[in-house]
Structures are given as structure tokens and as C-alpha cells.
């Protein structure tokens, strides 16, 4: 679940400084690389290439209320959006962190390691045998 970016701004009202909530909005248009997670507010129909996140080969249609994510690219349309997450709090960054922290070694990786070790040992033994034969002769 995404959380809204929450910030404060100071305003001068009746000669006194007050702190009030400030929410970030952004505009997304054709060709933009989206650098934040955002919720779409209003605008033209939007097509987003989010293949960096999902691996989908085709752009996805987005409508008001839908979320767009950091690392995506706007292929068509223009929209106003409400920023939900920035920087290390984005969906893309969280997904990258999960991949980075995974310690599980797959069966395929285990098989490749065994094959690689066998090849290296075979080569070393073969070189030693050839060297020993040449040294005798």
C-alpha cells in the first residue's frame, strides 16, 4: 500500500507564522520519465510504459484514480497527479531492495556451480598430468 507524501509549509497569516499541510502535485505528459509514485487526478487518457517494473511489453492505459510508478514513461496523454511517494519510498526502490536482499540460490544456479567447479577441476588436473608427462620425457 502506498502512503502519501506528507510535508509542511510555513505561511504568514494575520502577522503570525503557521505551519500547515502541503501536498505535492505534478504534471505528467508525453515523453516524461516518471520519477515519483503518483495518483492520477485529471487529464487526457494516459498510456504508460511500465516495462521496467513489470516486464510488460505493451503500454498500460491509466485513468483518474489509478497509480503511476517511478521508472515508468508516459507514452501518450497528459495528466495532473498527486505525488504519493518519492525517492527511497517509491515502489521501484522497494522492489529493487527486495531483489537485492534475496539470499536464496535457485536450483539452476546450484547446477551451474557444480558444472563450473567440475570443469575447473578437470582443467587443473589435465594441465598437471600434461606437465608431468612432458617433464618425464
Contact between 70 and 36 (Cβ < 8 Å): yes
Is there a single domain that holds both residue 77 and residue 117? no
Q: Is residue 1 part of a domain?
A: no
Is there a single domain that holds both residue 53 and residue 93? yes
Calculate mean pLDDT across residues 50-54.
85
Rounded distance, CA 58 to CA 56, Å? 6
Q: Is residue 2 part of a domain?
A: no
Range(s) of the domain holding residue 113: 106-137
Is there a single domain that holds both residue 78 and residue 120? no
Q: Name the more confident of 66 and 95.
A: 66
pLDDT band, residue 91 (cuts 50/70/90): confident
Contact between 26 and 38 (Cβ < 8 Å): yes
Is there a single domain that holds both residue 124 and residue 80? no
Is there a single domain that holds both residue 99 and residue 110? no
List Cβ neighbours of 90 (8 Å cut-off, separation of 6 or more).
36, 37, 69, 70, 71
* Domain count across the chain: 2
Amino acid at each position: 500500500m502506498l502512503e502519501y507524501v506528507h510535508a509542511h509549509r510555513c505561511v504568514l497569516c494575520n502577522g503570525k507564522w503557521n505551519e500547515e499541510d502541503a501536498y505535492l502535485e505534478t504534471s505528467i505528459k508525453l515523453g516524461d520519465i516518471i520519477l515519483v509514485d503518483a495518483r492520477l487526478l485529471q487529464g487526457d487518457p494516459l498510456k504508460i510504459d511500465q516495462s521496467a517494473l513489470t516486464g510488460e511489453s505493451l503500454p498500460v492505459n491509466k485513468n483518474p484514480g489509478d497509480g503511476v510508478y517511478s521508472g515508468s514513461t508516459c507514452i501518450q496523454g497528459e495528466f495532473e497527479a498527486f505525488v504519493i511517494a518519492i525517492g527511497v519510498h517509491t515502489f521501484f526502490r522497494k522492489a529493487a531492495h527486495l531483489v537485492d536482499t534475496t539470499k536464496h540460490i535457485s536450483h539452476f544456479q546450484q547446477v551451474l556451480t557444480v558444472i563450473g567447479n567440475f570443469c575447473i577441476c578437470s582443467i587443473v588436473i589435465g594441465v598437471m598430468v600434461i606437465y608431468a608427462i612432458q617433464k618425464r620425457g
